[in-house]
Structure 1
Amino acid sequence: MSPTAKPPSSPSGAKRPASDSDRGISPPPLKRKAQAAISKSAVANFFTPTSQKAKERTIWTERSPDDSSPATLLVAKYVPENDESSAADATRSKRRKIAAFDLDSTLITTASGKRFSDGVGDWKWWHHSVPGRLRKLYNEEGYRVVVFTNQGGLELHPDRSKGPKMAKYRVTAFKQKCNAVLSQLDIPMTLYAATGKDIYRKPRPGMWMEMKGDYELADSDIDHENSVFVGDAGGRVADLKGGRASAPKDFSCSDRNLAHNVGIKYQTPEEFFLGENPRDFTRDFDLANFPFVEQEDDDGIRLEKTNDKDIILFVGPPGAGKSTFYWKYLKPLGYERVNQDILKSKDKCFKAAAGFLQEGDSVVIDNTNPDAETRSQWVALARKHNVPIRCLWFKTPLQLCEHNDAVRSLNKKLNPEGRQGLPKLAFSGFASRFKEPKVEEGFQDVIPIQFKFRGTREEYDIWGRYWL
């Protein structure tokens, strides 16, 4: 999560004196002498004709993922004062090369040296070369320069009962800091700040899609080979020298994964601005282990209906692929489906399953069923109706399940039942309760199912991106 500004400390709080290296890099301090609520300049500005007033260089807007959701994306468009042509720049000549940057720990860092900002003015350039390099990208190399930043500490429309004044202060302070950064750069550019856990949050591609729309760019317009995203979240492992970490490991791999998702090169700030060699990196979950494979008729699954009537009990975490498996392999065999996400209660699930059995139908219990105690209730139902019960154990790793859940909840094409995304507790809760299913519990057999992407090439193009 990117840091956000904190309320200013009291006047008595100690401040680190600015070093020589800070001067000319950090913005001027914002502390001012106490003054009247209405200044002379404000009065003069009030009577200045509109045509003579200084134009705001940064225009802020808010956007939402869809018409039914609140705004979670902040967008700042900066137009330099003397650049009359920049307003029409997007339509006059499209810049095909994109240079995109993270904000915190990439373009800027705190002047105080603290992890989180002390206030609006507590920032300096990450390296003194940053502003000159960005200006060169725009003015000499023909790049479109943009910023994509996660700002999870901001809330644009808070619940009034939960301290709206503090939330409003944080948003205002963030805007003021960004205004200063953009003004010092003084090149046409747009900054996108994702404040929610939705399609806009990196590594998800929402901010990239908004950028394409703002500059009227189709995929074919973009020079992907020469475009780049620069950010500090690259999944780098700790750099060990003499048995000690000279550089800590990265907190995540979200910036590298965003670059993967949109098909452009990724570099760390050290690589891009300082010319350092790449460090080793790792991903907790690597999509390279799950390449797309053309589907065959039997897909390697040879599941036959061995009983005239029976129960098949699914066991596996949320997002393991259970429902997809049902629709592809068991629905064609005539099995009815019972799912607690749809029916909302365990009692309704038992009632529905009993009804199907009484009508002579076989039934699939499409729930997680993590432990023997839960499963024993379904074994008892099978005995009551004198039918066999089989167990299909979905052995999908939890990180892959979380990925599947995010893909499903954020993409309507892959979410026909309109399911909402699950909290992390849903996955850790399953793991804490899980006990391996065994035939001794009363099952006719226990069949392990390994995860495999089962879908079209078009569906894989969505699934095969990083969403966490």
Structure 2
Amino acid sequence: MSSSSKKRSAESHERDVTPPPLKRKAQSAITKTAVANFFTPASQKPKDRTSWTERSPAEGAAATLLVGKYVPETGDDGNQPKRRKVAAFDLDSTLITSASGKKHANEATDWKWWDRSVPGRLKQLYNDEGYRVIILTNQAGLALHPDPKAKTPKSHVERVPRFKQKANAVLSQLDIPLTLYAATEKDRFRKPRPGMWEELCHDYALDETSLDLEHSFFVGDAGGRRAELKGGKAIPKDFSCSDRNLAHNVGITFKTPEEFFLGEPPRDFARDFDLINFPFAGENEEVKFEKKNETELVLFCGPPGAGKSTFFWKHLKPLGYERVNQDILKSKDKCFKAATDFIREGESVAIDATNADPDTRAQWVELAKKLKVPIRCVWFRTPVQLCEHNDAVRALNKHMNPEDRQQLPKLAFTGFAARYKEPKLKEGFEDIVEVDFKFRGTEEEYKTWARYWL
């Protein structure tokens, strides 16, 4: 046998022994829906009738509000009389829910109507009852223009096209002129803050004279409802009260989906923080603070947002006190130097800071001893949740924010609570003046303050 014959024989034997490679099934990324859509004639494909725009919470800021305006093939209602009544709805768990049963649906097609009556009822509101129908939804899972420095999940950016696709499908099935507003960040647009409502009023040229607040309403699932047993089944409490609070903020009626679509009676609800407990006390507040010494050091103690700065400007500045504030001076050492300089010049000083713990306060007590001046304490007994509310009011309303302060992170309040010990006379104070919270401002400012901002 020749060498070439032997070689072919060996190769043949090797091929017989070695098993053939396994063939892997190709994984296609093409869905059945995409295939069906590809073969659908262009004349039969539904036209995307939703136009999308983005809006910023402030001049120069990145856009955070996504706005989708749907106009049916028959056109909008621009030539008709202005619709003065607004029927506003939340989206998830109010108009729609996931078809898969997942709490948070990621796929654009994973949705169904919350109840079979929803589309017919919304069409009736628009066609027969003369309402302007609007959707106001918080969508914190979307990111329109994420800050490159922030750790925004990539998925938040990727979800935007899918959300638009789902929203367009919802609006197409309703097929009435309708605008959807989606707040993606924790700014003035996010419910219960009134930013989205203000946008819709601007878009449809509605103001106090033309808007029928009495007959307008908002429907949402975040109503602050308590947990209860119904027919032997446990019904959990609502995750928040933001939808009910939005309705309060704009002065319209609130209903849950169960009340509006199913005709069920209202359930008991509760707010963790209720503004009804803080009525307007008038501008002529009784002053609880008096100057006792020619030169003295006054130490404030209380959470961020407790009203310390407002109290200083209203009650201590007129008495001739100078203010030392670490938010302005940026370091504790600069605060100590500024206070020392003022006292050596014979000026009384107020230390406008949180001073949460005895160790921090002890440093100021030691300074007062060194400078040989009395030290007093003003204790702001303000609940932390109320302070968070005050901070949000200040940051989101320029006319109540003369120092242009930014909203504080949650950590500023939890950090204070973790360190806080109430001040005691034995720490070295001449006296402790206790200040319970009262809104200190004009009646017009109170109208802004007495909205829900968290």
Is the shorter-chain TM-score for this pair beyond 0.5, marking a shared fold? Answer: yes
Alignment equivalent of 1:80, drawn from 51, 63, 72? 72
Q: CA-to-partner distance for each residue in 1:290-317, whole Å, 9 max, x for gaps? A: 1112222xx2223211101000000000
* Residue 180 (structure 2) pairs with residue 188 (structure 1): no
Cross-structure match for 2:190: 201
8 A contact 1:112–1:118 mirrored in 2? no
* Distance in 2 between residues matched to 1:389 and 1:164, nearest whole Å: 50
Shift of 1:54: 8.1
- 1:315-334 alignment to 2 at 5 Å? 315-334=301-320
Cross-structure match for 1:341: 327
* Distance in 1 between residues matched to 2:222 and 2:404, nearest whole Å: 31
Secondary structure of the equivalent of 1:147? strand
8 A contact 2:139–2:184 mirrored in 1? yes
Cross-structure match for 1:136: 124
In structure 2, list runs of 5 or more residues that go unmatched. Answer: 1-26
Secondary structure of the equivalent of 2:266? coil
RMSD: 2.2
* Distance in 2 between residues matched to 1:237 and 1:291, nearest whole Å: 25
* Distance in 2 between residues matched to 1:210 and 1:440, nearest whole Å: 55
* Residue 62 (structure 2) pairs with residue 70 (structure 1): yes
Cross-structure match for 1:309: 295
Amino acid at match of 2:228: D
Alignment equivalent of 2:111, drawn from 113, 116, 123? 123
Shift of 1:116: 1.1
* Structure 1 residue ranges, 4+ long, deviating more than 6 angstroms after superposition: none
* Distance in 2 between residues matched to 1:352 and 1:217, nearest whole Å: 51
Amino acid at match of 1:317: P
Cα 1:109–1:311, aligned 2, differ >3 Å: closer, same or farther?
same
Larger Cα Rg: Structure 1 or Structure 2?
2
* Distance in 1 between residues matched to 2:250 and 2:89, nearest whole Å: 14
8 A contact 2:218–2:253 mirrored in 1? yes
- 1:366-385 alignment to 2 at 5 Å? 366-385=352-371
* Residue 156 (structure 2) pairs with residue 170 (structure 1): no
- 1:12-411 alignment to 2 at 5 Å? 31-32=32-33, 56-83=48-75, 85-86=76-77, 88-89=78-79, 92-159=80-147, 166-241=155-230, 246-296=234-284, 299-411=285-397
Amino acid at match of 2:184: T
Amino acid at match of 1:440: K
Amino acid at match of 2:130: G
Cα 1:285–1:182, aligned 2, differ >3 Å: closer, same or farther?
same
* Distance in 1 between residues matched to 2:122 and 2:322, nearest whole Å: 60
* Distance in 2 between residues matched to 1:190 and 1:295, nearest whole Å: 41
Shift of 1:169: 2.1
Q: CA-to-partner distance for each residue in 1:195-234, whole Å, 9 max, x for gaps? A: 0100000000000000000001112211111110000000
Cross-structure match for 1:438: 424
The alignment's TM-score, normalised by the length of structure 2, stands at: 0.90
Cross-structure match for 1:6: none
8 A contact 2:106–2:159 mirrored in 1? no
Q: CA-to-partner distance for each residue in 1:368-401, whole Å, 9 max, x for gaps? A: 0001100000001101110000000000001100
- Identity percentage over the alignment? 66
Amino acid at match of 1:207: M
Shift of 1:164: 7.9
* Distance in 2 between residues matched to 1:105 and 1:352, nearest whole Å: 55
Q: CA-to-partner distance for each residue in 1:273-329, whole Å, 9 max, x for gaps? A: 000000000000000001112222xx2223211101000000000000000000000
* Distance in 1 between residues matched to 2:314 and 2:90, nearest whole Å: 41
Cα 1:452–1:385, aligned 2, differ >3 Å: closer, same or farther?
same
Amino acid at match of 2:135: V
* Distance in 1 between residues matched to 2:39 and 2:117, nearest whole Å: 38
Secondary structure of the equivalent of 2:214? helix
Corresponding pairs, count: 425
* Residue 417 (structure 2) pairs with residue 428 (structure 1): no
Cross-structure match for 1:23: none
